Structure 1
Amino acid sequence: MASDGMSLTNHDHQIRVGILTVSDSCFRNLADDRSGFNLKDLVHDPSLLGGIVSAYKIVPDERDFIKETLVDWCDEKELNLILTTGGTGFAPRDVTPEATREVIEREAPGMALAMLMGSLNVTPLGMLSRPVCGIRGKTLIINLPGSKKGSQECFQFILPALPHAIDLLRDAIVKVKEVHNALEDLPSPPPPLSPPPVTSPHKQTEDKGIQCEEEEEEKKDSGVASTEDSGSSHITAAAIAAKSVFHPTHAVVMAKGGQPLTCFVPPTTLPSHFTCSCGDQIPDAIISRGVQVLPRDTASLSTTPSESPRAQQSRLSTASCPTPKASRREFRAHLDEVITLESRYSTLDQVQSRCGSKENILRSSHSAVDITKVAQRHRMSPFPLTSMDKAFITVLEMTPVLGTEIINYRDGMGRVLAQDVYAKDNLPPFPASVKDGYAVRAADGPGDRFLIGESQAGEQPTRTVMPGQVMRVTTGAPIPCGADAVVQVEDTELLQESEDGTEELEVRILVQARPGQDIRPIGHDLKRGECVLAKGTHMGPSEIGLLATVGITEVEVHKFPVVAVMSTGNELLNPEDDLHPGKIRDSNRSTLLATIQEHGYPTINLGIVGDNPDDLLNALNEGISHADVIITSGGVSMGEKDYLKQVLDIDLHAQIHFGRVFMKPGLPTTFATLDLDGARKLIFALPGNFSYRDTGVTLLEAMPMSDSEASRLPVSPPPRRTSKWLAFFPMDSSLVFAGLSLGDGNRMHCGKNASRQRQCDTLGNVLLKNLGSWHLCGC
């Protein structure tokens, strides 16, 4: 950017930047501030902003903390630019935009609009961002998303205008004039190309391309190429170049045996080198950014300085079908798209992250993974090693909190309460007898007493006990008026009964009773309005009984994640099948399903999937459509048939957070996420080996049940000495491990919680004996 006159290279005039990370988890050191550190690098990069970070801070999602920091940096430190990251979404604690509005004096809606438009070109979920950009004094404040990828993309969307905006705020007259003069001298971009009329002499072929009629094949190529495919309409010449002060750059699309095409692209849009791997479909990420595809000869003519834009428009509008000598079908069949750009810097993620909308992805049944070039596969994994601690934190950080639902209390076994439960009545609702005996007046003391009737459980006595009288009571029966104590039947003698023996007429009280003796007063067990079950309680039989006691028949609980499980491998058979040469029975899927069901989670059995990208894509789409968590077994290592990671990346555009974990066995364990229609899907891809499977399940802390950030991350990473765990799921505010861990000496340990382990005498072989050892352990 220095050559363009927009970067301030003199240290005294460098752009002074403050980076403010707004995150509860980062503030409490429960997560690393990856976005903030990445923004530091982007700010320092001399090919980008070339600024200096003069202030950096992490604050919680609290409006007052955010406002205090912004005001201090604007008024006291007098920074030129403040970049906030985090707190711009729809979550209840996302208040960064509101805090920013209370601080700024003037809004800069164009920058917020540029970020929203750029984000929407990447994902439809971009519309869920609520960035605010504005000015306080001479400081520009910009809200960026909280994710590393989102904040980097949005920073790059507005980067072309940042230096000039800051020059305007600093009243740098010389630099402002230089930019304004450059804008005046900038040639107008080529005019937009209108889509072909309905009567266009083109027909759509089976490969979704556009082919001229046979009589047009022999005509001279003198027009502008328009291309149509399944993922987009005609590529138009949107004047992206006019959106920045940079001249458009030529991008050449090379094809075997075909005529090269040239694209006009601003250098801020595409990377220096970009290889398209979308088959026949030109990536939407390029189309949406206004790429103009022209034959090379037309492209060179369109940029002739001596030709006016009006003349260009006239010539382009009269151009005939630009089909090369080779047919369009042949051209597409041999397309080896290599786009080379002469740009200064790039936003690689913008283009590589998306080749079509997620909706199109889920409807697709054919994978774009190339399985033919076996010799060109990776010899070393492209994924860096991730520590167990970091992997654990990453899973927790990327895990969404599911919503809640109302269920009948009878269906509450294993569920987690999402609200406090309060007693709506006193228990007992009346003074009740603790024992079988006689309701007496304590002041009467020992002596002979006449009976005036009885009080039984379930009935309300109507008579009042007077001095010298008692009333017979049963356990749980209401205490009659006038009585204030109960004397058990063992401390009395019968003096007189009716002639037929059906009634007691007179008894002798042998002991001195105390007021309140053997009586449960009103509300003794539970008082009206008292919290009987706290939010976050894991419900078992006693909790369900308590709900029945207080008459609460419907409760709000956290939704359980639906977990889909599949095994991959051409060698696998179902357990009921007979073995054939080269085949083995699939046990991983059964073990995983049983483990998950043991903890009450609903499951979906996706079956066995063959080692080919199409089948993997279809199975993953099925799981993504119906489940919150997808667990796969096999296909994640370095074998030539291990396509799973490629399908996740190329076809589903899932974000792979780690592809190797520093543990043995289980090195290729993979974790990815996919945001779809406002919901985040978690994908755990585990190795297929017996013990690898057990190891990989370590990371299945699948869905925290709490709705606050503090209780969402209730545990610390497990002990470093443990090299293998198996299957832990959240049962309440703590973490329960269900399974085994290999400690020193290849000895199995059974982890019962995150803070302690006890050693099991069962020795587990790293391979086949693991399954039996797990069963025999009994811990």
Structure 2
Amino acid sequence: MFLVGVLILSDACFQDPLLDATTAAVETAFAGAKHNYTVTSKAIIPDDFDAIQSKIIGWSAKPGLDLILTCGGTGFTDRDITPEAIRPLLHREAPGIVHQLLSESLKITPYAIMSRPVAGVRNQSVVITLPGSPKAAVENLQAVLGVLGHALAQIGLTDSRALHQKFNRTINDALPDSDSSPVVHPVPSDALATLHSSSLHHCPHGHTKPSCGISKHKLVSNDLSSPVTLRARALPFPMLPVPEALALIAKFTPAPTKITKRITDDLAGYILAEDVFASVDVPSFPASIVDGYAVVSADGTGTYPVVAVSHANASEKTTLRPGEIARITTGAPVPLGADAVVMVEETELITTDGTEEKEVKILAIGVKPLDNVRAVGSDIQKGTKILAKGTPFASNGSEVGVLASVGVTHVAVFAKPTVGVLSTGNELLDLKTFTGEVKYGQIFDSNRPTLLSAVKNSHFAAVDLGIAVDRAESLEEVIREAFAQCDILITTGGVSMGELDLLKPVIERKLGGVIHFGRVAMKPGKPTTFATVEIGGFTKIIFGLPGNPASASVTFNLFVLPSMMKNAGYEQSGVATVDVELTQDIRLDPRPEYHRVYVFQKYDEVTKLHKLVAESTGFQRSSRIGSMKGANGLLCLPSSKTAGSVLRAGEHVKAMLIDSLRN
């Protein structure tokens, strides 16, 4: 067995390791090799001279790797310094390997003249530089793979004659009679992960070179033009943990944009995009808190003439002198000269003129200045920040009320994305057009109504895109039309391994989109897909959710809602998580699971406090929409690989709240 190290040299991949498709392609290329190669070391470093030399020296230190493959940096740009960094480190060069690399590459593309490979031996490690693109790296490796084992086996020997005899039959078997070229072992097309058919690739950082190692779109989905017999037998996307999937969603969800809204609009769910300051004092005049009589507090108890009436309306200013009082209503301005208000309950009517009060006796003792008076600016002072950027507008209208109190008519908010919901599948029946006949093999589409309701109840605009048939051209057309009016597209179905699971190929091969992940280590929802597509200069988001109803609902709450909220400007996106106590034993799955539950409050006789408990909704099969009925929480269950097979009743776990608490 030969131990191999694969070293990616790319500034871009070092910044974003997800751009690296070359490592996986090279590993796959070894699968068909005659000798046993095992990639034990993998790394990504920038195009930096010292970093390259340090890594090569470390990997080749005795005892080191048998084979070191570098990928990238062999072209003509200023950052292509791999040959210059590696050549001085070689104890012996291998010009034959270099010749084979160039001659085979030139048979594929004339652009190979711009590649500057280096090969040789350092200590007991063979070092070979390959281009950076997945396709070109594999083609170069296959050019020497047939005889590379013989070269590696010679390292450390003093006499190679016995080895030559041992390898003679093996090498001859590897070489076809009509050609001296080594056998090229087939590599699955999905392992090449590249957009272009030649070794020349476009680097997203603005230059073109054979060694970049990054294609604009990494094509790993099935080729729709190929027969079904050639499709991948397993999803070629890595199985990501949920936290990594959420991190990618946060990274690639577009930042929010500002718009202006009137406060008379429906602002529920919008996020304030700028701080708002008060332009006036609230109240702007001293106002009475109660119905009663405005008084001069120093006058004390006694009978006083009623010389004025102050109502809560626009009026002329009035002035009281000591020994006078004025009748006043709640919210009305306190006359000048008065400094307190006495409640009507603490007074006695003495004389009238038949229709109006003439004299009233003040009974209240110890009246002090500002009693029952709202002082100027006591609620809100002019110039103070009344609402901060990032404040969400609640559905109860409280933020709108604050804005209105200081005379604000328009505010800057973050635009909320419009969300389209599309179901896919020939078997689906649309309730809108259902005629009353269900044919064998047909089912009602429950995903679309469920998700449309969930989007609307989260205060986002939802667009019903209907049902797309399982045909690539139709699906592409529907998606393009959807993005004319939608920012985020939710699809259900078509993301797994069937021949009619078309979403991933359509995204990559028809729309030129980028799939950031296509599998998640979770139950339910493993084939959940997150992708972005550039259309008209704008980044559009696609969430491909599983077709099973429970899976679609769970993954909407876990993945889609946080993206919607981030795009709408929420600083903390996603649903709230609480600690709950289990009411029953829960068996764990090897995958982390999101188990549908009822979460409700229960009185604890021991602590004399209410606690949150969770009760399973029953059978959790992903196709069982009934498991979502009444569910207001998702238990965040760990894998059985780390937490044992069962969580017992009474144990505490985290739960995501996807609806209001039950009593």
Q: Which band: TM-score by shorter chain? A: 0.5 to 0.7
Letter in 1 for 2:559: L
Answer yes or no: is the 8 Å Cα contact 2:272–2:393 preserved in 1: yes
In structure 1, the partner of 2:180 is none
Q: Which residue of 1 aligns with 2:362?
A: 509
1:439 — aligned with what? 294
Change (3 A) 1:604 1:240: same
Closer/same/farther in 2, CA of residues 620 and 518 from structure 1, 3 Å limit? same
The answer to whether structure 1 residue 51 and structure 2 residue 38 are counterparts is no
Select the residue among 272, 284, 289 that pairs with 1:417: 272
SS at match of 2:233: coil
2:414 to 558, 572, 575: 558
Aligned residues of 2:495 and 2:529 also touching (Cα < 8 A): yes
Aligned to 2:303: 448
What CA distance in whole angstroms lies between the structure 1 residues aligned with 2:112 and 2:18? Answer: 32
1:101 — aligned with what? none
Residue 309 of structure 2 corresponds to residue 483 of structure 1: no
Give the Å deviation of 1:392: 1.9
Question: In structure 2, how many angstroms separate the alpha carbons of the residues matched to 1:46 and 1:455?
Answer: 80
1:570 Cα deviation from its structure 2 partner: 1.1
For 2:440 and 2:44, how far apart are their aligned partners in 1?
56
One-letter code of the match for 2:136? P
Compared CA separation, residues 570 and 658, structure 1 to 2 (3 A): same
Q: Provide the TM-score with structure 1 as the length reference.
A: 0.53
TM-score by length of 2: 0.62
Relative distance call for 1:680 and 1:467 in structure 2 (3 A) is: same
Match of 2:245, SS state, is helix
> Would the aligned equivalents of 1:45 and 1:51 in 2 still touch at CA under 8 Å?
no
RMSD: 4.8
1:528 aligns with 2:382: yes
Deviates more, 1:630-639 or 1:383-392: 383-392
Aligned in 2, Cα 1:662/1:706: closer, same or farther, shift over 3 Å? Answer: closer
Task: Measure, in 2, the Cα distance between the counterparts of 1:20 and 1:273.
Answer: 20
Deviations 1:68-122 (A, max 9, x none): xxxxxxxxxxxxxxxxxxxxxxxxxxxxxxxxxxxxxxxxxxxxxxxxxxxxxxx
The equivalent of 2:348 in structure 1 is: 493
Q: Report the Cα offset of residue 157 of structure 1.
A: 7.4
Structural mapping, 1:577-596, within 5 Å: 577=434, 578=436, 579-596=438-455
* 2:384 is the counterpart of 1:384: no
Contact 2:10 2:45 in 1 (8 A): no
> Is 1:403 the equivalent of 2:251?
no
Q: Deviations over 1:710-769 (max 9, x none)?
A: x75x47xxxxxxxxxxxxx57xxx7899xxxx99359633579xxx97414643542565
Q: Report the residue type matching 2:320 in the other structure.
A: V
Q: Which runs of 5+ in 1 are unaligned?
A: 1-16, 24-31, 55-151, 173-185, 191-236, 248-265, 291-343, 356-366, 716-728
- The one of 350, 362, 372 aligned to 2:215: 350
Code of the residue aligned with 2:81 in structure 1: it is L
Give the aligned partner of residue 703 of structure 1. 564
User: 2:74, 2:565 → 1: CA distance?
Assistant: 31
Q: Aligned to 1:670, which of 529, 540, 545?
A: 529
- 1:481–1:153 Cα change, 3 Å: farther
- The reply on whether 1:162 has 2:81 as its aligned counterpart is yes
Shift of 1:378: 2.1
1:598 matched to 2:457? The reply is yes
Q: Counterpart of 1:370?
A: 224
Q: For residue 46 of structure 1, report the CA deviation from its aligned partner.
A: 13
| Structure-1 separation of matches of 2:201 and 2:494 | 35
CA separation of 1:484 and 1:461: change in aligned 2, threshold 3 A: farther
Relative distance call for 1:431 and 1:154 in structure 2 (3 A) is farther
1:442 deviates by 1.0
1:617 to 476, 500, 503: 476
Distance 2:291 2:136 in 1: 87
Rounded Cα–Cα distance in structure 2 between residues aligned with 1:543 and 1:244: 63
Q: What is the Cα deviation at residue 45 of structure 1? A: 11
Structure 1 Cα separation of the partners of residues 217 and 320 of structure 2:
88
What is aligned with 1:658?
517
Unaligned runs of 5+ in 2: 1-8, 24-41, 57-70, 89-101, 119-129, 140-186, 203-208, 589-594, 601-610, 633-659
- Tell me if 1:569 matches 2:425: yes
For residue 763 of structure 1, what is the aligned residue in structure 2? 618
- Alpha-carbon distance in 2 for matches of 1:537, 1:662: 34
Check whether the contact 1:413–1:544 (CA below 8 A) recurs between aligned residues. Answer: no
What residue in structure 2 maps to residue 538 of structure 1? Answer: 392
Alpha-carbon distance in structure 2 between the residues aligned to 1:245 and 1:33 = 25
Q: Structure 1 residues 496 and 44, CA, compared in 2 at 3 Å: closer, same or farther?
A: closer
* Distance across 1 between alignment mates of 2:527 and 2:251: 20
**For residue 516 of structure 1, what is the amino acid of its counterpart?**
L
* Structure 2 contact 421–464 (Cα < 8 Å) conserved: yes
Deviation, structure 1 residue 460: 3.5
Instruction: Classify 1:601/1:640 alpha carbon distance in 2 versus 1 (closer, same or farther; 3 Å).
Output: same
- In the TM superposition, what is the alpha-carbon distance from 1:633 to its structure 2 partner? 0.7
Distance 1:613-1:441 versus aligned 2 partners, 3 A rule: same
Tell me, in whole angstroms, the C-alpha distance in 1 between the residues paired with 2:214 and 2:382.
58
Kept in 1: contact 2:278–2:382 (CA 8 A): yes
Q: Which amino acid aligns with 2:279?
A: K
Residues 509 and 21 of structure 1, relative CA distance in 2, 3 Å threshold? farther
Cα separation, 2, equivalents of 1:435 and 1:351: 70
> 1:156/1:417 Cα in 2 relative to 1: closer, same or farther (>3 Å)?
farther
Could you say if the C-alpha distance between residues 38 and 509 of structure 1 is closer, same or farther in structure 2, counting changes exceeding 3 Å?
farther
Quickly say closer, same or farther: Cα 1:448–1:757, change in 2 above 3 A: closer
Aligned to 2:542: 683
Are 2:609 and 1:748 aligned?
no
Query: Partner letter of residue 564 of structure 2?
Result: M
Cα drift, residue 432 of structure 1: 0.7
Contact kept, 8 Å, 2:111 with 2:199, in 1: the verdict is: no
Change (3 A) 1:33 1:482: farther
Q: What is the aligned partner in structure 2 of residue 14 from structure 1?
A: none
**Offset at residue 636 of structure 1 (A):** 1.3
Amino acid at match of 1:408: R
Question: How big is the shift at 1:384?
Answer: 2.3
Alpha-carbon distance in 2 for matches of 1:22, 1:537? 36
Deviation at 1:287, TM superposition (A): 11
Q: Partner of 1:41 in structure 2?
A: 43
Residue in structure 1 matched with residue 498 of structure 2 by the alignment: 639
Query: How many matched pairs?
Result: 483
Q: For the Cα contact (< 8 Å) 2:72–2:211, is it kept in 1? A: no
